[in-house]
A and B are shown apart, each in its own frame.
Chain A
Amino acid sequence: MKEILVDFEKCNGCLMCVQACAAEHSLSKTIPGALAEGTPARIFLQHVKGSPVPIVCRHCEEAPCVDSCMSGAMKKDPVTGIVTNEGNDQECAGCWMCIMSCPYGVIIQDHRGKTAKALKCDRCQGKEPPACVASCPNNALFFMEPEEFSEIRRRQEAKKILVVS
C-alpha cells in the first residue's frame, strides 16, 4: 500500500506542504482562503537543532488511534488503507483517546465546530498524490510503496559513494 514518505535531507522547511494541506481541507481550496478560514493543517513541520522535520500520519496497520477510539468514528479503510474519523457513520466524541495513543503525535484537537473533534490526515480522501506531496518543491515528500522508496534511497546512497570515490 502506498504511503506518504519523507526524505528528511531534502526538506528545507519551506512550509509549502503545510499550506497546501490547509488549502486542500479548506472550503475555498486556496492558501489565502485557508488562512482566512483558519483551517488547520494536518501535516506538521518541526525543527530540531535548526533542521526541519516534517511529521505526518503513517496510517498504521493496527493503528493505535483506531484501537483506542471508543466512539467507533476512527476507522481504517481496508481497501485504501486510509485512517480517518471523518465521513463514517459514527461521530467523533472528542475524547482525545486517539491523541493519547498516537506515537507520532499527528492528531490534533479541532475546536472549530459545535463540539470539539479530533483532526488528522485523511490523505486527501484518496486523491493521488496527496496535496502535501504534490506541493513539495524540494522533492522531499513521496507517495509510493515503502519498498520502492527504499530502492530510490539505496540508489541515492550508492550514487553518493560513486561521486566521492
Chain B
Amino acid sequence: MNHVIIGNSAAGVTAAETLRMLDDQAQITIISDEKEHAYSRCLLPDFLSGERDSKSLRIRDLNFYSQNRINTELGQKVVSVDHEQHQVVLEDGRRLQYDKLLVASGASPFIPPIPGLQTEDAFGLRTIDDANRILEAAKSSRNAVIVGGGFIGLEAAYALRSRGLDVTVVEMAPQILALQFDEKSAGILADDIRQAGVNLITGAGVKEIEGPAFPGKLRSAGKKVILSSGDSLQADLLIMAAGTSANVALVRDTGIKINRGIMVDSRMRTSLPDIFAAGDVVETLDVVSGSIGLTPIWPNAVVQGRYAAHNMAGNDKKYSGMIGLKNAVEFRAVPAIAMGASRGTEEEGYEVLTLDQPAYQLYKKLILRDNRLQGMILVGDIKQAGVLGALIRNKTDVSAYKNCLLQPSFSYADILRHSA
C-alpha cells in the first residue's frame, strides 16, 4: 500500500506513525511546503519570546522519519491533486502516485481586508518562517500592534513584550478571547496580561493602515494603524491574528466537497475515493453542539490523524466526534481553561453554576442542560478540568453529584463512588 500524506504537523505526523504501526510494509510519504522537521506551531510564541529555539520546537525525535521509514518531500508545495490518476502534483512538476491520500494541509492566518494593508506589511504567526521574519522585524521596531485578541494574538503580544517592545492588541469584540471566555473570565485574564505591560484595546476595529509619508519612508518609519474609534497607533511591526482559514486551495478543483473546510465522514473519508482528510483543514462533528464545523485545535488534529490512518490501512474505525472548542492558557500567572458551550447563558435555557472569588483570581462557571454538563470556564483552578471535560464529552447525567462539581474537593472519586 502506498500512502501519501500532505502535511507534516499534528494530523500528518500522527497518521504517518499510526500507518507504520499498522502496516510494516506500507510505503509512507509526507509532503510539506515547509523544510523543517515536524514542529509545534502552538509553541511558536515561546520561540518568539526566546524561551525555545527551533530544536526544542520539534515534536518528534530527530530520527523520527528514518526510524519509521517515512519518505519525506519537505519544502515541496503541492499544486494540485489528480484524483482520477491517483496522483499528487508537486510544484517542481513531479507527480507522486498514491493508493490512499491524506490531506492534512492545515490552515493559514486569515488576513482581513483592511484598506491600506499590504500583505508584506503584516505578519501572521503560523510557521517558523513567520516567526523568524517577525524576530527580524522586531530588531528595528519599538511599537508592535497585534490585530486580534484571541490566543495567538495574546500569546504573541506576551512574547514580544518580553522582548521589550511596546505592544498593543486591538480586538474588535468588547472583550478578549471572545470565542471561548465570558466577560468576567476574560476580564481576569486581561488584567493578568496588562500586568505584563501589554496594552489592550477592545471594542475597536482597524479602519485603515497608513504607510509612512515620504521622509518617513527614507528612514523606514513605521505604519500607522487607524482604529474605528478614531485613535491611531504607531506600528513598526504589525501582526495579524484574526483567525485562520483552512488550506483547501490544493484540492479545490478536484470537485471535492468543501464548505469552509473539507467535508469528511466519520471515517475521515472525503467525497472522493481514496482521499482522506484530517486536522485544521477539515470540518468534523462537535459532540457538544452536534454541529459540523472547523475545530482547529491540536488534540483534535492528532486524533483525527490517527482515525484517518486506521481507515486508510483498511481498519474500520469510526470517529465519534470531539469537543470542538477547548483551550487551555496561562499568560503570566493565571491558568484558564474553556471548553464546550462555555458562553451559554440562562437566557438560552442553560443552567449555569458559578463560583466567583475575585480575591483569589478564582472563577468557575459550569453550563448544564438537562443535568448534563455542556460547557465550562475554569480560571485560577484548573485541576479537575479533564474530569469535567470527560463529563461533557460523555454527556453524563450529573444529577447525583451536581452540587459537588464546583467544590474544591471534587474529583474523579465522586464519579467513581456514585456510579458504583
A interface residues with partner B (beta carbon < 8 Å)? 8, 44, 46-49, 51, 53, 55, 62, 64, 67-68, 70-72, 89-91, 93-109, 115-116
In the bound assembly, the distance between CA atoms of A156 and B116 in angstroms comes to: 77
Contact B386 A105 (CB under 8 A): yes
Point out the residues of chain A lying under 8 angstroms from B383, CB to CB.
99, 105, 108
Point out the residues of chain A lying under 8 angstroms from B306, CB to CB.
62, 67
Point out the residues of chain A lying under 8 angstroms from B194, CB to CB.
none
Nearest first, the 7 closest Cβ-Cβ pairs linking A and B are A72-B59, A103-B390, A53-B413, A46-B413, A102-B386, A68-B299, A70-B42
B interface residues with partner A (beta carbon < 8 Å)? 10, 40, 42-43, 46, 51-52, 56, 58-62, 298-299, 302-303, 306, 326, 328-330, 335, 337, 339, 382-387, 389-390, 409, 411-414, 416-418, 420
In the bound assembly, the distance between CA atoms of A64 and B413 in angstroms comes to: 19
- Closest A residue to B302 by CB, please name it: A67
Minimum CB–CB distance from B379 to chain A (whole Å) comes to 12
Contact A70 B298 (CB under 8 A): yes
Contact A68 B51 (CB under 8 A): no
Contact B413 A96 (CB under 8 A): no
In the bound assembly, the distance between CA atoms of A109 and B384 in angstroms comes to: 12
Point out the residues of chain A lying under 8 angstroms from B416, CB to CB.
8, 48, 53, 55
Point out the residues of chain B lying under 8 angstroms from A51, CB to CB.
417
Contact B413 A47 (CB under 8 A): yes
Point out the residues of chain B lying under 8 angstroms from A91, CB to CB.
56
- Closest A residue to B51 by CB, please name it: A115
Point out the residues of chain B lying under 8 angstroms from A46, CB to CB.
409, 411-414
Contact B46 A93 (CB under 8 A): yes
- Closest B residue to A94 by CB, please name it: B330
Minimum CB–CB distance from A89 to chain B (whole Å) comes to 5
Known: A46-B411, A53-B417. 18 other contacts (CB 8 A): A46-B414, A48-B413, A48-B416, A67-B302, A70-B298, A72-B40, A72-B58, A72-B60, A89-B61, A93-B52, A95-B328, A95-B329, A96-B335, A96-B337, A100-B328, A103-B386, A103-B390, A105-B387
B59 contacts which of A53, A90, A98, A106 (Cβ < 8 Å)?
A90
Point out the residues of chain A lying under 8 angstroms from B299, CB to CB.
64, 67-68, 97, 101
A97 contacts which of B61, B298, B303, B414 (Cβ < 8 Å)?
B298
Minimum CB–CB distance from A73 to chain B (whole Å) comes to 9
Q: 13 A-B residue contacts at CB 8 Å?
A: A44-B411, A53-B413, A53-B416, A64-B299, A71-B42, A71-B59, A91-B56, A93-B46, A96-B337, A98-B386, A100-B385, A101-B386, A109-B382
Contact B386 A95 (CB under 8 A): no
In the bound assembly, the distance between CA atoms of A41 and B394 in angstroms comes to: 29
Contact B417 A49 (CB under 8 A): yes
Point out the residues of chain A lying under 8 angstroms from B298, CB to CB.
68, 70, 97
Contact B56 A105 (CB under 8 A): no
A103/B60 contact (C-beta < 8 A), A46-B413, A64-B299, A96-B337 known: no
B411 contacts which of A55, A64, A93, A98 (Cβ < 8 Å)?
A55
In the bound assembly, the distance between CA atoms of A78 and B176 in angstroms comes to: 41
A109/B335 contact (C-beta < 8 A), A101-B389, A103-B387 known: yes
Point out the residues of chain B lying under 8 angstroms from A44, CB to CB.
411
In the bound assembly, the distance between CA atoms of A64 and B389 in angstroms comes to: 11
Minimum CB–CB distance from A11 to chain B (whole Å) comes to 11
- Closest B residue to A89 by CB, please name it: B61
Contact A104 B43 (CB under 8 A): no
In the bound assembly, the distance between CA atoms of A53 and B385 in angstroms comes to: 19
Point out the residues of chain A lying under 8 angstroms from B40, CB to CB.
70-72, 93
B382 contacts which of A70, A90, A100 (Cβ < 8 Å)?
A100
In the bound assembly, the distance between CA atoms of A54 and B273 in angstroms comes to: 50
Minimum CB–CB distance from A53 to chain B (whole Å) comes to 4
In the bound assembly, the distance between CA atoms of A15 and B273 in angstroms comes to: 57
In the bound assembly, the distance between CA atoms of A104 and B302 in angstroms comes to: 20
A55/B413 contact (C-beta < 8 A), A99-B383, A115-B51 known: yes
In the bound assembly, the distance between CA atoms of A45 and B157 in angstroms comes to: 40
